[in-house]
Amino acid sequence: MNIEMTKSHYNTIIVGGGQAGLSVSHYLQQENIDHLVLEKRTVMHSWKNERWDSFTLVTPNWQCLLPNHPYDGDDPKGFMKRTEIIDYLDRFAAKVNAPVIEGIKVERITRRAEGGYCVTTSEKEFTCDQVVVSSGGYHQPIIPRMAERLPESIVQIHSAQYKNASQLPEGAVLVVGCGQSGAQIAEDLHLEGKKVFLATGDAPRCARFYRGKDVVEWLEEMDYYKMSVDKHPLREGVRDNTNHYVTGRDGGRDIDLRKFATEGMELFGHLLDYDKGELKFAPNLARNLQHADDVYNNINQRIDAYIEQNNIEAPAGGLYEPVWAPEEEREIYSLETSGITSVIWCIGFTPDFAWLDAPVFNGRGNPIHTRGVTAVDGLYFVGLPWLYTWGSGRFSGIDQDAKYLSQKISEYTASALDAQKQKEVA
């Protein structure tokens, strides 16, 4: 929607033009609530510019349930590739036709003494009654300070910059981190014939398929995805959990780091430091691999219990048996003799909400909220992991979160109008 920037006040301003922000816009349009979406780059920028070429969804296509835009392809149990995801999101954006301004950066949001908010941008200043922050929680790529001491000849990039193996120089690659991005990028490089060194962490893993079904299908049947954060055993602590590594590549499969090791990938514990030509690792590789396998087996055992309790006929299951184990913990490794010429940092992001002046953040800079609603009137968040359920940060749960927040925005609007009428009568 082409927006003229002549108007300065809106009921609601949405910061961020990804799938979460547009989902809120979808419902606000249904409520006839005046609003504006501000996007500092372009709509769906991250999906188009911060994913590697072989990227696929790790959740099956049938879980793509954006508002009025469920997956409509011919492979519901498959996993969309990057180009298919972009097409799916482009069609969603066209369908929503949100009132959005692209290429405008929100520099500061402050509360007004008379109520509402002042939104200072790179173009002009707006005011609004309510604000929805839908910019996600992955803002600043994490690259440790030790990176500054690596030789200048080593090419260093973050996972958000990785596209494919051809962008890297000849030689081996050190991938730091084995969460979803790290494990999948390590696999991509490995399949391309690159010598890969992988510094592991405490990321868990899960099976892709178990006892005749995608594990996601079993968990859906078990109502896991309906569990709200306040019902989860970890409560809000689940928001800090590292995602399980698995892949949707080539129709979906497990990612087994032990198997990669049998094929020549070099595995290490947590990367601690670099000093005087030596990479230093924690002696926890065996523990990291065991932790991932324990989580893998635990999930499968919960599925076993569900199958037994409900007398479901299914193929036999069983525990994962390790195909490789480290003979020793390698704590020091020479960078020069390793042949490593590039490093990919896959250790995540930190949130950066410095532009939002509101007392709603915890000590780690994450917003405090209940289902996206903060303690500050008219201020909301959407699109964050476990905002309400497992699907809140994914295509499967954004719809219910956006609908809920739009109702809260509508209620707040109605309440403000009633208060204004009573004031006028008085």
Q: Please give the pLDDT value at position 402.
A: 98
pLDDT at 425 over 80: no
Give the chain's length: 426
pLDDT at 216 over 80: yes
Q: State percent of the chain over pLDDT 90.
A: 91
pLDDT band, very low/low/confident/very high, at 354 (cuts 50, 70, 90): very high
Cβ contact 48:87 at 8 Å: no
Phi, psi of 358 (to 5 degrees): -155, 140
Cβ contact 157:150 at 8 Å: no
Q: Lowest-pLDDT range, 71-75, 186-190, 347-351?
A: 347-351
Mean pLDDT of the residues in the chain: 95
Question: What average pLDDT score do residues 332-358 get?
Answer: 96
Q: Please give the pLDDT value at position 72.
A: 95
- What is the DSSP secondary structure assignment for residue 392, as one 8-state letter? G
Question: What average pLDDT score do residues 178-187 get?
Answer: 97
Which domains occur in the chain, in start order?
9-139+351-425 (3.50.50.60), 141-345 (3.50.50.60)
Q: β-strand 196-199 against 172-176: which pairing, if any?
A: parallel
pLDDT at 26 over 60: yes
pLDDT at 106 over 90: yes
Question: What average pLDDT score do residues 243-249 get?
Answer: 96
pLDDT band, very low/low/confident/very high, at 2 (cuts 50, 70, 90): low
How many C-beta neighbours within 10 Å does residue 417 have? Answer: 10
Question: What average pLDDT score do residues 145-155 get?
Answer: 96
Q: Please give the pLDDT value at position 239.
A: 85
Q: Please give the pLDDT value at position 426.
A: 64
Token reading at 317: 């299951």
Q: How far apart are CA 237 and CA 40, in angstroms?
A: 30
pLDDT at 237 over 90: no
pLDDT band, very low/low/confident/very high, at 242 (cuts 50, 70, 90): confident
pLDDT band, very low/low/confident/very high, at 384 (cuts 50, 70, 90): very high
pLDDT band, very low/low/confident/very high, at 139 (cuts 50, 70, 90): confident
In 350-387, which positions are buried (b, 16+ CB within 10 angstroms) versus exposed (e)? ebebebbebebeeeeebbebebbbbebebbbbbbbbbb
pLDDT at 9 over 60: yes
Question: What average pLDDT score do residues 201-215 get?
Answer: 97
Secondary structure tally for the chain: helices H, strands E: 9, 21
pLDDT at 423 over 80: no
pLDDT band, very low/low/confident/very high, at 422 (cuts 50, 70, 90): confident
Q: How far apart are CA 86 and CA 414, in angstroms?
A: 37
- Spatial neighbors of 281 by CB under 8 A, at least 6 apart, are 199, 268, 269, 270, 271, 272, 329, 330, 331, 332, 333
pLDDT band, very low/low/confident/very high, at 396 (cuts 50, 70, 90): very high
Question: What average pLDDT score do residues 89-116 get?
Answer: 97
pLDDT at 62 over 70: yes
Determine the straight-line distance between the first and last CA of the chain, rounded to whole angstroms.
41
pLDDT at 3 over 70: no
pLDDT band, very low/low/confident/very high, at 4 (cuts 50, 70, 90): low
Please state the pTM of the whole predicted model: 0.95
pLDDT at 361 over 90: yes
Q: Which of 102, 106, 99 is nearest to 120 (CA)?
A: 106
pLDDT at 1 over 60: no
